[in-house]
């Protein structure tokens, strides 16, 4: 079996909070193969975006990391200088809100061509030509005019396409898409997701797609990993996870989603989601909200155990197998 392009193994992360180190990621493990799309799903605060920042080495001062992140066999934590810049060219990030990450006082052309001109020594005219061609690839015509515009002159959907085009200019091998459609209307969301999926297949990109939508992950990702309280609680082929979840949290997420044909009251997960800061170190973090909890769930922290072509973090995996139902069940 070939080495995965991205390997995240036992990733833990402590950040400085009020002068003390507190855990925000506890045990995150998954892989992304060349050309594969993997979804990372969970409620707000589960640690999805922080996982992306840890992978791309975009952490705040004072952060302490445990475990490892390896890209194409190399330890990302050991990279510095030119090697780190090269890594960030191969691992590009599409952030959630482009208006936050694109400088509002610089023209679109300056934003798009900066990395080519500074890190690749590409001449200004050639960099602009490559940017125009990439804008066309992501569905933005009249690229020359767009390069001369400022971010506020573009709609949210166009600006997100600019963000995607800018990441592709360095010819990355892995795209980290951190909820790239959250700030967009439903129609534009569908267009952006279709564009990302088309580009992935055309360019042979690997994609880590962060979302809170199980259905969306099932539609565009080969495999899906589910996060809760800073941990991976289940990771499997998307179709299997969607139709026959192994972890009670995965099943609860699916049951809580709204359906067009639903007539019964929407099912909500009881309690509130825990962050890794609040999660117990010696028990299952989901135990307080789980309808299947038993004494063993609160006496020790569960580990990821291999199950049905993937893994699940639950001491009752075998006992609950086949009983949790798919996401279409309430």
Q: Write the pLDDT tens digit of every residue in 22-44.
A: 999 999 999 999 999 999 999 88
CB 208 within 8 A of CB 28: no
Tell me the pLDDT of the chain averaged across its residues. 90
Residues present in the chain in total: 330
| Predicted local confidence at residue 185, as pLDDT | 81
Q: pLDDT tens for residues 284-330?
A: 999 999 999 999 999 999 999 998 889 999 999 988 887 886 544 33
Tokens at residue 85, please? 């810049």
User: Which pLDDT belongs to residue 329?
Assistant: 38
Phi then psi for 111, rounded to 5 degrees?
Answer: -60, -45
In angstroms, the CA 89 to CA 84 distance is 9
Residues 269, 274, 275: CA angle, nearest 5 degrees = 140
* In the chain, % of residues over pLDDT 70: 96
- The C-alpha atoms of residue 159 and residue 271 are separated, in whole angstroms, by 37
pLDDT tens for the chain, residues 1 to 330: 467 999 999 999 999 888 899 999 999 999 999 999 999 999 888 999 999 999 999 999 899 999 999 999 999 999 999 999 999 999 999 988 889 889 999 999 999 999 899 888 899 999 999 999 999 999 999 999 999 999 999 998 999 999 999 999 999 999 999 988 877 788 888 888 888 888 899 989 999 999 888 888 888 899 999 999 999 999 999 999 988 999 999 999 888 877 666 566 778 888 888 888 889 989 999 999 999 999 999 999 999 999 888 999 999 998 888 788 654 433
Q: Which helix (H) or strand (E) holds 166?
A: helix 156-168
Please state whether beta strands 74-75 and 64-71 pair in parallel, antiparallel, or not at all (unpaired).
antiparallel
Kindly report the CATH class assigned to 30-49+95-320: alpha beta
SS3 165: helix
Q: Cα(77)–Cα(295) distance, rounded to whole angstroms?
A: 39
Q: Could you tell me which residues come within 8 angstroms of residue 274 by beta carbon, excluding any fewer than 6 positions away?
A: 228, 229, 285, 288
The answer to whether the Cα torsion of 312, 318, 324, 325 is positive or negative is positive
CA angle 2, 29, 79 (to 5 degrees): 75
Q: Strand, coil or helix: what is 171?
A: coil
Report CA torsion sign: 324, 316, 51, 208. negative
Q: How far apart are the first and last CA of the chain?
A: 39
């Amino acid at each position: 079996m070939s080495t995965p392009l991205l390997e995240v193994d036992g990733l833990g992360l402590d950040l400085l909070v009020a002068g003390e180190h507190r855990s925000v990621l506890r045990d995150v493990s998954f892989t992304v193969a060349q050309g594969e799309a993997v979804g990372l799903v969970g409620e707000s605060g589960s640690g999805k975006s922080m996982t992306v920042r840890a992978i791309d080495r975009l952490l705040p001062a004072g952060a302490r990391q445990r475990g490892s992140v390896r890209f194409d066999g190399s330890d990302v934590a050991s990279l510095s200088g030119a090697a780190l810049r090269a890594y960030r060219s191969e691992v590009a990030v599409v952030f959630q809100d482009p208006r936050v990450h694109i400088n509002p006082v610089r023209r679109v052309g300056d934003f798009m061509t900066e990395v080519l001109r500074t890190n690749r020594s590409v001449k200004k005219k050639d960099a602009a030509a490559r940017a125009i061609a990439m804008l066309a690839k992501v569905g933005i015509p009249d690229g020359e005019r767009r390069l001369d515009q400022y971010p506020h002159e573009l709609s949210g959907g166009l600006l997100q396409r600019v963000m995607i085009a800018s990441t592709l200019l360095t010819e990355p091998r892995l795209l980290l898409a951190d909820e790239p459609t959250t700030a967009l209307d439903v129609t534009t969301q569908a267009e952006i997701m279709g564009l990302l999926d088309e580009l992935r297949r055309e360019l042979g990109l690997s994609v880590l797609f962060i979302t809170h939508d199980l259905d969306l992950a099932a539609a565009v990702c080969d495999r899906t990993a589910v996060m809760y309280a800073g941990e991976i609680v289940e990771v499997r082929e998307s179709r299997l996870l969607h139709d026959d979840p192994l972890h009670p949290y995965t099943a609860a997420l699916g049951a809580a989603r709204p359906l067009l044909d639903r007539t019964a009251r929407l099912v909500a997960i009881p309690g509130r989601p825990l962050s890794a800061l609040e999660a117990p170190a010696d028990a299952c973090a989901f135990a307080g909200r789980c309808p299947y909890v038993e004494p063993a769930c609160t006496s020790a922290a569960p580990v990821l155990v291999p199950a049905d072509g993937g893994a699940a973090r639950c001491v009752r995996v075998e006992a609950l197998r086949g009983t949790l139902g798919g996401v279409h069940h309430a």
